[in-house]
A = this chain, B = another copy of it.
Amino acid sequence: MGKDVTVAVGLGERAYDILIGPGLIARAGAEISSRLPGIRTAIITDENVAPFHLEALKAGFEAAGIASSVVILPAGEKTKSFAALQEVVDAILAARLERGDAVIALGGGVIGDLAGFAAGIVRRGMSLIQMPTSLLAQVDSSVGGKTGINSARGKNLIGVFHQPKLVLADTAVLDTLPAREFRAGYAEIAKYGLIDQPDFFAWLEKNWQEVFSGGAARIEAIAQSCRAKADVVARDEFETSDRALLNLGHTFGHALEAAVAYDGARLVHGEGVAIGMALAHRFSVRMNLASPDDAERVEAHLKAVGLPWRMADIPGKLPDADALLAFITQDKKVSRGALTFILTQGVGQSFVARDVPPSQVLAFLKENHPG
């Protein structure tokens, strides 16, 4: 087609390519058979995605001579469970797939996390191909090898690092996404600019409308996000240091998601990240690390694209500041009692702060709480 952009993820023996372009689901059979000849597959997808994309994928697989079995799971976060994991693992074993055969994750972040985890533990690690169908999954969860399920004690507490052999991001599928979901995914795109790519953030401020409307700007924004994430992951695959930068906005964001009991009608993940990023900048101003201009610039961009940027933008009543702090200290990014936050010295100048005093966070939450 010539339209695809390829992003190489440099992880030595575990290096892989991300292909980004329109129509990749229908062309997946051809792409996979040329790169991984002779493999058989198990396609893991959900009830929302299957009606739109499964037939096209299977037709391309058949044309390329790739055998496949299919597991269709209920859509939604509850599918990231031990029970669903066991179902997927058993289906892969029932299909008698071997280590070099591939699990195909066709769906959003939930399917990618679950199917990736299953691929990571069947026969102690099988090949995995990610085919993300949401913007969030295309720019975040399908890149970097994090997989997992939820525990009653918290999200994503159980999983493995398992890198895919190939990621196929079909940008045409994004045309059918609800506007709110697209916007939520866009928050993660903006995040990469805010972490360490000020030029990319400036480009987004100018070109965000074209990213939303589709075409070359969208593909470029997704590719640049994948490149940015791939760079961070290559520096720190197992999250012992720099990879934590990818959590910009996530400490506040996760606490807000927990505070609304993960009620997607009130707040979806990308929206939590958007508010979290704005708060991280505002908190950095309060800590005399960044200038108020930086925080205002971030808030203005989030507002422009239609994302929430402050706690008051969440419909309904929030728990008080003490309760929000409790959600933060329960987060898995807390290490040995010290609070770790991603703070910033300005747009594109984020850093990992490992010793933020809880008292400062509490005071900040009180000042910014909508009451």
A residues lining the B interface (CB < 8 Å): 38, 82, 86, 89-90, 93-94, 98-100, 117, 120-125, 146, 148, 151-154, 157-161, 238-239, 332, 335-336
B120/A157 in contact, CB under 8 A: no
A153: which of B82, B90, B99 is its contact (CB, 8 Å)?
B90
Our pick among B121, B148, B153, B332 for the contact of A160 (Cβ within 8 Å) is B121
Q: Establish whether residues A238 and B161, one from each chain, have CB atoms under 8 Å apart when the complex forms.
A: no
Q: CB-CB < 8 A to A152: which residues of B? A: 90
Taken together as a complex, chains A and B put the C-alpha atoms of A158 and B88 apart, in Å, by 12
Flag if B161 contacts A89 (CB, 8 Å).
no
Given that A82-B82, A90-B151, A98-B335 are known contacts, is A160 also in contact with B160, CB under 8 Å in the complex?
yes
Given contacts A82-B82, A94-B153, A336-B98, contact A158 B89 (CB under 8 A): yes
Distance in angstroms between the alpha carbons of A122 and B125 in the assembled complex: 17
A148 touches which one: B100, B124, B157 (CB < 8 A)?
B124
Contact in complex: A124, B93 (CB < 8 Å): no
Whether B124 contacts A146 by the Cβ 8 Å rule is: yes
- Of all A-B residue pairs in the complex, the 4 with the closest CB atoms, nearest first, are A93-B153, A82-B86, A124-B159, A121-B158
With A121-B121, A121-B148 already in contact, 14 other A-B pairs whose C-beta atoms are closer than 8 Å = A89-B151, A93-B153, A100-B335, A100-B336, A121-B158, A121-B160, A122-B157, A123-B157, A123-B158, A123-B332, A124-B160, A124-B238, A125-B161, A125-B238
CB pair A161 B124 closer than 8 Å: yes
Closest to A118 in B: B158
- Say how far A243's CB is from chain B's closest CB, in angstroms: 11
Task: Give the complex CA separation of A38 and B337 in angstroms.
Answer: 13
Chain B proximity of A103: nearest CB distance (Å): 13
A341-B125 Cα distance, complex, nearest whole Å: 22
B336 contacts A122, CB within 8 Å?
Answer: no
Interface pair A158/B82, CB less than 8 Å apart: no
Minimum distance in angstroms from A326 CB to a CB of chain B: 14
Q: B122, A158: Cβ atoms under 8 Å?
A: yes
A259 to B: closest C-beta gap in Å: 20
C-alpha gap A148/B122 in the complex (Å): 9
